[in-house]
């Protein structure tokens, strides 16, 4: 399912985004490769969500470019990178129906849809909820369903915009495990979070944003043990709020 040619690395080339005369992101140069999750960290308003939306192609940069440079990037095929939002969008259908709909949009035919929806629900421990209306599920269940829905499409990269914000600790932990399951299946996760403990558990590498600029990018242990910039050090001490 995911054996096709890779679309990574993803290169962000001097990426900038401005809106209403305000520069929100500037001079972002970053290369994302396959492997363990990349965590995008930074205080509120640093531009983390915006960066994910630009990477996912939902917004066009004001200048610079988002380029998928892997050998598979040129081939047009159903979405190989997807985004999961902080507040998951659930359609007025059953949990299984939500996954089947996404597969239908991607052009997967009926019987195969059914099979893949069941596999996805099973992979994320959601099978007992298959027939339940998606909108009646709890916040954590909806977020896991959003991940299962993304997984079912067989993407190579999934962007996750604060998937555990506004969840209670137990639900947050369950979603975190679902993110780890994505990574275990060879899907590259690029995620933002405000939970530093969670970031330490998940991250392979960290990109640190502050006021629309990328201040650091490197292996997670290096970032957490010995941040190179004063801003990152202050952020890790919990002393940098915006």
Partner 1 sequence: MAEGAFAEALGLVLGGDPEFLSIVALSLRVTLSAVAIAALVGLPLAALLAVSRFPGRQAVVVCCNALMGLPPVVAGLALYVLLSRSGPLGELGWLFTPAGMVAAQTLLVAPIVVSVGREVLEGVWEESGEYLRSLGCSRLRAVPTLLWEGRFGLLTAVLAGFGRASAEVGAVLIVGGNIAGVTRTVTTAITLETGRGNLALALGLGIVLLALVLLVNAAAFLAGRATRRAEG
Q: What distances in angstroms separate CA 76 from CA 9, 84, 93, 106, 157, one per listed residue?
A: 17, 21, 29, 12, 15
Residue 106 or 119 having the CB closest to partner 1: 106
Measured between alpha carbons, how far is 175 from 147 in angstroms, rounded to an integer? 8
Measured between alpha carbons, how far is 100 from 106 in angstroms, rounded to an integer? 10
Q: Give the contact letters, 156-195, x = binds to partner 1 (CB under 8 A), - = no.
A: ----------------------------------------
Q: Does residue 56 bind partner 1 (CB under 8 A)? A: yes
Measured between alpha carbons, how far is 5 from 148 in angstroms, rounded to an integer? 22
Dihedral over Cα of 105, 106, 107, 108: its sign? negative
Measured between alpha carbons, how far is 185 from 113 in angstroms, rounded to an integer? 20
Q: Give the contact letters, 64-103, x = binds to partner 1 (CB under 8 A), - = no.
A: --------------xx--xx-x---x-xxxx------xx-
Q: Give the contact letters, 11-50, x = binds to partner 1 (CB under 8 A), - = no.
A: ----------------------------------------
CB 140 within 8 A of CB 173: no
Residue 101 or 173 having the CB closest to partner 1: 101
Q: Where does this chain touch partner 1 (CB under 8 A) — which range of 62-70, 133-141, 205-213, 229-237?
A: 133-141
Residues found near partner 1 in the complex (CB under 8 A): 56, 58, 78-79, 82-83, 85, 89, 91-94, 101-102, 105-106, 132-136, 153
């Amino acid at each position: 399912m995911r054996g096709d040619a890779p679309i990574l690395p993803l290169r962000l080339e001097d990426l900038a985004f401005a809106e209403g005369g305000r520069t929100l992101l500037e001079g972002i140069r970053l290369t994302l490769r396959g492997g363990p999750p990349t965590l995008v960290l930074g205080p509120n308003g640093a531009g983390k969500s915006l960066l994910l939306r630009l990477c996912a192609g939902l917004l066009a940069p004001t200048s610079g470019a988002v380029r998928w440079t892997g050998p598979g990037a040129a081939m047009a095929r159903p979405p190989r990178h997807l985004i999961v939002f902080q507040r998951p969008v659930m359609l007025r259908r059953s949990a299984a129906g939500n996954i089947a709909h996404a597969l239908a949009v991607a052009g997967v035919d009926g019987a195969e849809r059914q099979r893949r929806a069941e596999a996805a629900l099973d992979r994320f421990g959601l099978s007992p909820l298959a027939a339940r209306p998606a909108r009646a599920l709890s916040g954590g269940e909806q977020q896991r369903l959003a991940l299962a829905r993304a997984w079912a499409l067989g993407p190579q990269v999934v962007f996750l915009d604060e998937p555990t914000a506004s969840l209670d600790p137990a639900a947050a932990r369950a979603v975190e495990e679902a993110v780890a399951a994505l990574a275990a299946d060879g899907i590259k996760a690029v995620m933002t979070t405000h939970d530093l403990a969670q970031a330490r558990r998940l991250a392979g590498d960290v990109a640190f944003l502050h006021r629309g600029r990328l201040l650091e990018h490197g292996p997670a242990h290096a970032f957490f043990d010995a941040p190179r910039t004063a801003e990152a050090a202050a952020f890790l001490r919990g002393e940098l709020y915006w």
